[in-house]
Homo-oligomer: A and B are copies of this chain.
Amino acid sequence: MDIKQYMEQLGQRARKASRAMARADSAARNRALTLIADAIERDADALRAANQLDMDAAAANGLEPAMLDRLALSDKAIATMIEGLRQIVALPDPIGEISGLKFRPTGIQVGQMRVPLGVIGIIYESRPNVTVDAAGLCIKSGNATILRGGSEAIHCNRALAKLVKEGLEGAGLPADGVQVVDTTDRAAVGALITMPQYVDVIVPRGGKSLIARLMAEATVPMIKHLDGICHVYIDGKADMKKAVDIGFNAKCHRYGTCNTMETLLVARSIAPAVLPQLAALYATKEVELRADPEAKAILAGYPHLVDATEEDWSTEYLAPILAVKVVEDMDEAMDHISAYSSKHTEAIITEDHSAAMRFLREVDSASVMINASTRFADGFEYGLGAEIGISNDKLHARGPVGLEGLTSLKYVVFGHGEVRQ
């Protein structure tokens, strides 16, 4: 059987299972999640053994240490998976709510019901814990799912898939509700993203290059995350303490995350006061500052000071590097953001109410913040309870995507024999 046929089979089974998943009640879906958590706890040794096979193969293939680190299934990773599933159990059921039910002049009652999307395809790289996180979110939201993990994690993913199926069956749900692609052939990905008849949406979890590759080929819609070129604008009316706290936190809390600030914009009137204070903090972390001429003049003497080039304004460093630019005012800051932002997250620091409200409304990014660190742009921090990813798209789901992003609203009509006149 060739890969395309194999993937078609998975697709057909997923589509079939999706009907049973969608009609399963909350209790059955939560029961499956609990059984999976219990099975992982019980079979932790077997999972570690499977992971060791992957680790040995990866080491033999000369995988980089950073990749090996992501592939490893530590005791802590196992505990986190189990805890994650139990947290998903505790979340409210996103499915079945009917909203906005209103009578119309014709007599019919019209509302919208939240329902599963159907079949979700998830494509990810080495971390085996994604297998369990993603399966958990899809089960909770009543979707069937096809998981395609990194080929280097195949033994561990197979072992996890077995436990997930056991949990589904134990709760009376179809074992095909979650299927792990059991081949390392890369053609499987190409097939998965071009089966719109079987797959309703693809959620890629991985780096920019993975997603760019999928975008070029996919005919199934994607909820996709690209880069995070996030800005903080310190307004002329900013509170100095807030500006310094947030300017430092947004860059230095973590460097490798998509909601980390990559460019700092500072109003001309406040730049001479605030930049030296910030620089004193950045210096403790040896942050390299790539400054425009005006910022550079103010920062003269900073030990890691570099001229900003045009390229810096559109670079996601994911490193202790920050682009800094002095602007005349908020309008210039918003023009800069409009030109260079990846529309992920932007923040303004100001005590000026009217400026804050204009920034909030006019900046066209998935998250827009007043006097808060961009690092808060995250499903857990926003209270979504869980996060399947962060979307750079405007359609469907924008920003952090929780369970609701894996659902859609269908119209429901309650009639009493009405016909159209």
A residues within 8 Å of B by Cβ? 19, 22-23, 96, 102, 104, 106, 108, 110, 113, 115, 117-118, 200-201, 221, 223, 239, 241-242, 245-246, 248-250, 253, 338, 347, 358, 360-362, 364-373, 375-377, 381-383, 393-396, 398-400, 408-420
Contacts and interface: CB of A to CB of B under 8 A. Distances in A.
Given A104-B381, A362-B19, A415 B371 contact: yes
Contacts of A395: 117, 200-201, 221, 223, 395-396, 408
A376 B365 CA distance: 37
A382 B14 CA distance: 33
22 contacts: A23-B358, A96-B361, A108-B372, A108-B376, A110-B381, A110-B383, A115-B364, A223-B395, A241-B417, A246-B415, A246-B417, A249-B420, A253-B419, A370-B413, A370-B414, A371-B417, A372-B415, A372-B416, A372-B417, A376-B420, A381-B420, A382-B411
Contacts of A253: 419-420
Provide the main secondary structure of the chain A interface: mixed
Nearest to A367: B411
A369 B415 contact: yes
Contacts of A106: 376, 381
A419 B108 contact: no
A6 B39 CA distance: 61
A412 B368 contact: yes
B376 A413 contact: yes
A241 B416 CA distance: 11
Q: Which 6 pairs from chain A and chain B are nearest by CB?
A: A372-B415, A249-B419, A242-B417, A375-B420, A369-B413, A371-B415
